[in-house]
Amino acid sequence: MATIRKKPLKQPPFRQTLFWDVDPKTIDPERHARYIIERVLDFGNDDEVRWLFRHYPYTFIREVLDRSRVIHEKSKKLWSLVLK
């Protein structure tokens, strides 16, 4: 798998409520990049969104947004405008 990050990833500052179905400490920012991006774009707060854009390439975030089938439609529309 080609690296998708801009710089080395440190443990993200994610809340348990963002990843209610898993333990946030077990999430690997590189292996679970799509899962993280989908959750943050849908439910993330300002700090989590900033972390996301500092650690993943814009083009990769856009690709996840375009291909995702789990991001809510309203979130997709918002981020599509932001990521023009």
Between CA 57 and CA 59 the distance in angstroms is: 5
Within a domain: 7: no
Within a domain: 43: yes
The structure tokens listed for 36 are: 């993280």
pTM across the whole model: 0.84
Within a domain: 18: no
Q: What is the residue range of 58's domain?
A: 25-82
How many domains does the chain contain in total?
1
Query: What residue has token string 């650690």?
Result: 55
Q: What is the DSSP string of 52-70?
A: HHHHS-HHHHHHHHHH-SS
Within a domain: 9: no
CB hemisphere CA count around 70 (13 angstroms)? 11
Within a domain: 49: yes
Predicted confidence (pLDDT) per residue in 4-42, tens digit: 655 555 666 778 888 889 888 888 889 999 999 999 999
